[in-house]
Structure 1
């Protein structure tokens, strides 16, 4: 059973323009009680990725191309173990930039920035909750609680209920950004619930 309240508060969420000011970005920050090298390996080793995210094929080095089973592909733009992984995500100019650091307690701080392109702010609800679920899956993997079927786990009722609350958290982040109309946010919330929590949404 997922401790939804605790898991929601472990993630910092932010929505706004990317550094160029020309594209929408979503930012997540979460701590992990594991060495940076172990977290980085979970992000870049195909066997480990397949146990918490999904199967991946390709060359996971700088300049290499990759494809995720049933998902987007892309190109590795930067791979600097164990601090940074930056890649294209599906259609350009979308990118994902993952940065790892260590806080004063020795825990790894993972910061993930997904730049979506010139999209409305409410679009954050189409990707933010998905990253919440994946960062939760990464936490479970690092704690030795992973499953043999990451896709099935993602579709479980427990995870869908977590996703419901993550959608609300992202809606709050979009509202706090001040760059989205409430009408757009309502429609985006409905679409996100249909995508991430179809079996538990009434």
Structure 2
């Protein structure tokens, strides 16, 4: 059975800038070949098993849409090394467009070094100040946990929404938020600023919505 909390320590988290853009980076190693990881990230039937059902023209220049998540255009596709896509979330592409790049490199033992960099060009400064990198970082930690389970053949049959409310998943999100808070502070913000953003983000992910 996959060790939820142990998976958190497998990843390196880092923040950066590229001109006016903000970048959030995750890097870790998977016990699978680059070809297998590439296949899991590009074949619709496998993407559905760890990220979500996907539709579209999944080739260079084509467009895709992940059910209940983001969509966009496939910008670069260099198998089995680099996949880059635009990432449009929500109904306002002018303010919600970013880019996601996945880079795969061979690692010792037939394993794969996996790097995901999410670059936001027009990040809302108010939203960033309130929630910090954990707003996207926790979501990616959850996705890469799903990929680890898929690659290891340990996928859960439980409904994803129900799974996120289990004690183990809630603790995972809390620890993920704390890890992104540490990365935020390491990037140069004050302890109080990083802590405040971290606490608000963890609450947004883990607190049950008010009853109607």
TM over 0.5: yes
Contact 2:182–2:194 (8 Å) recurs in 1? no
Q: How big is the shift at 1:187? A: 4.0
- Aligned match of 1:170: 180
Q: How big is the shift at 1:155? A: 4.2
Deviations 1:127-185 (A, max 9, x none): 1111111111100000100124445434433122111001000000010010x345543
- Aligned match of 1:190: 199
- Aligned match of 1:14: 14
Distance in 2, matches of 1:140 and 1:55, equals: 17
Distance in 1, matches of 2:160 and 2:184, equals: 28
Distance in 2, matches of 1:139 and 1:76, equals: 23
Tell me, yes or no, if structure 1 residue 78 matches structure 2 residue 82: no
Distance in 2, matches of 1:76 and 1:151, equals: 28
Distance in 1, matches of 2:40 and 2:166, equals: 22
Tell me, yes or no, if structure 1 residue 158 matches structure 2 residue 156: no
Change (3 A) 1:49 1:156: farther
Tell me, yes or no, if structure 1 residue 114 matches structure 2 residue 124: no
Q: For 1:87, what is the secondary structure of its paired residue?
A: strand
Q: How big is the shift at 1:72? A: 1.3
Contact 1:33–1:108 (8 Å) recurs in 2? yes
Q: For 1:108, what is the secondary structure of its paired residue?
A: strand
Contact 1:2–1:162 (8 Å) recurs in 2? no
What TM-score do the two structures reach when normalised by structure 2?
0.84
What TM-score do the two structures reach when normalised by structure 1?
0.87
Distance in 1, matches of 2:9 and 2:183, equals: 13
Q: For 1:167, what is the secondary structure of its paired residue?
A: helix
Distance in 1, matches of 2:67 and 2:167, equals: 22
1:100 equivalent among 89, 97, 104: 104
- Aligned match of 1:133: 142
Q: What are the within-5 Å matches in structure 2 for residues 15-94 of structure 1?
A: 15-18=15-18, 21-90=19-88, 91=93, 93-94=97-98
Change (3 A) 1:153 1:41: farther
Unaligned runs of 5+ in 2: none
